[in-house]
Amino acid sequence: MRTRTVLPDFLPLAAALLTLTGITGCAPRDRGPERVELEISSVYVAEPVLGERTAMYFSLQNLSEADDELVAVSTAVAARAEIHRTLREGDAMRMEPVASLTVPAGGRLNLAPGGYHIMLLDLQGPLRAGDRFHATLQFRHAGELEVRAVVLAYADLEAALAEVQQHDPEGIR
Amino acid sequence: MRQSASVAASICLIVLAGCAPGREGTASTGYRGRVFPEPRAKVEFTLTDTEGQPFDFRAETDGYVTLLFFGYTYCPDVCPIHMANIAAVLEDLPLELRQQFKVIFVTTDPRRDTPERLRQWLDNFDPDFIGLTGNRDRINEIEMALGLPTSVIEETDAADYLVGHSASVLAFTKDNLAHISYPFGTRQIDWAHDLPKLVNEGWTE
């Protein structure tokens, strides 16, 4: 299990919250042809502006030698959760739903602002910065992974993003 | 397998796009934003503000440093992160500096972003931020005249559709020209560096 120790010091609150969520868990299962072991860190969502919807982010490390795929996300806080990606075309950005995301063997998948994210739609109640909730990630091979997400204010998301980039500078901005 | 190959290809594209912008011009001007080779003039337009009143962009922003952004309130991260970062930095500026800024958010999704909804959304960041709406074709014309990519709306179903838009904030100085734009990924530390400098910028050298 990998914990995050190098954190931006200009937003200690966000950093502290991330440290707590940085140890969310591994999911060793062997439903697939090969055993797939995933490690997840930095699970966070933005505090929704108008309370209707928000985006969820996390980083996944695939510790095994087989690809896996994130196929669904569910949580009691939202009636629907969709996997989205943001496309950049020059200076323009737009997002679109995708059916699944691959977590490559031995590699990482980062969901981060401006890139891949989980849209939580039809939120069932208020989510405030500092709140925590559970979500279930469904993988094709690793099965289900329970995670705990923390809600961060939009102004604190850049610290979360910086933390992901620090560990994976080539990753999605 | 086909699926994963296409996902991998898009990761490469996003990484390339993410690394390219944001650095040119910084050495010569000392700004963290992207300096345009040729500054862009303010476009004359009148749209509707969140009180339902006409807002003459050129007249109302004359003499202010104006940060102009095109986005929509259903936007998951690019729009609210820009707004939250600008609000956080402006809040930390002394009042006499802060008063010299106008932040303007033009919706690219006028069908869903009513003036009331825009006001409610912007109030979460800063009640002084100005929200504008209008005819979608007119808003696209304005974006085009400013050299920005026009917004795209893909109707998926009636309630939930997707909007594409420019990811950069245009910064007009008091000469009524935009010399700089701020791409998505601009940090609060960058805004805090540039905003006070923009107030007294004469662009004379």
Q: What is the pLDDT of residues B40-49, one digit of tens each?
A: 999 999 999 9
Strand partners, A92: A89, B166
pTM: 0.81
Region B16-27: mean pLDDT is: 40
| CB proximity list for B38: less than 8 A, separation 6 or greater | none
Whether pLDDT at A123 is above 60? yes
Is the CB of residue B6 less than 8 Å away from at least one CB of chain A?
Answer: no
Band of the pLDDT at B161, cuts 50, 70, 90? low
Tell me how far apart the alpha carbons of residues B21 and B33 are, in angstroms, rounded to a whole number: 10
pLDDT at A162: 76
Nearest-5° Cα angle at A24, A106 to A146? 95
CB atoms within 10 A of CB B37: 6
**Are B85 and A46 a contacting pair at CB < 8 A?**
no
pLDDT at B126: 97
* Cα dist from B38 to B11, B35, B63, B179, whole Å: 32, 8, 21, 7
Band of the pLDDT at B182, cuts 50, 70, 90? very high
Tell me how far apart the alpha carbons of residues A166 and A112 are, in angstroms, rounded to a whole number: 13
pLDDT at B155: 60
Residue of chain B whose alpha carbon sits nearest to that of A50? B121
Band of the pLDDT at B76, cuts 50, 70, 90? confident
User: Sheet harboring B34-41: ordered strands across?
Assistant: B34-41, B177-182, B169-172, B65-71, B101-107, B130-133, B46-49, B54-56
**Are B4 and A67 a contacting pair at CB < 8 A?**
yes
Range with lowest mean pLDDT among A99-108, B21-30, B113-122: B21-30
Mean pLDDT of chain A: 80
Tell me how far apart the alpha carbons of residues A98 and A140 are, in angstroms, rounded to a whole number: 15
The proportion of chain A whose per-residue pLDDT surpasses 70, expressed as a percent, equals: 75
Region A40-60: mean pLDDT is: 93
Region A136-165: mean pLDDT is: 90
Distance from CA of A89 to the nearest CA of B (A): 8
Contact residues, chain A, for B166 at CB < 8 Å: 91-93
- Best of A158, A163, A168 to disrupt the B interface by mutation (most B CBs within 10 Å)? A158
Partner residue opposite A92 with nearest CB, options B15, B74, B164: B164
Range with lowest mean pLDDT among A52-61, B26-35, B103-112: B26-35
State pLDDT tens for residues B194-204. Answer: 999 999 988 87
State pLDDT tens for residues B90-104. Answer: 999 999 999 999 999
- Residue B36: Cβ-neighbour burial (10 angstroms; 0-12, 13-18, 19+): middle
Whether pLDDT at B108 is above 50? yes
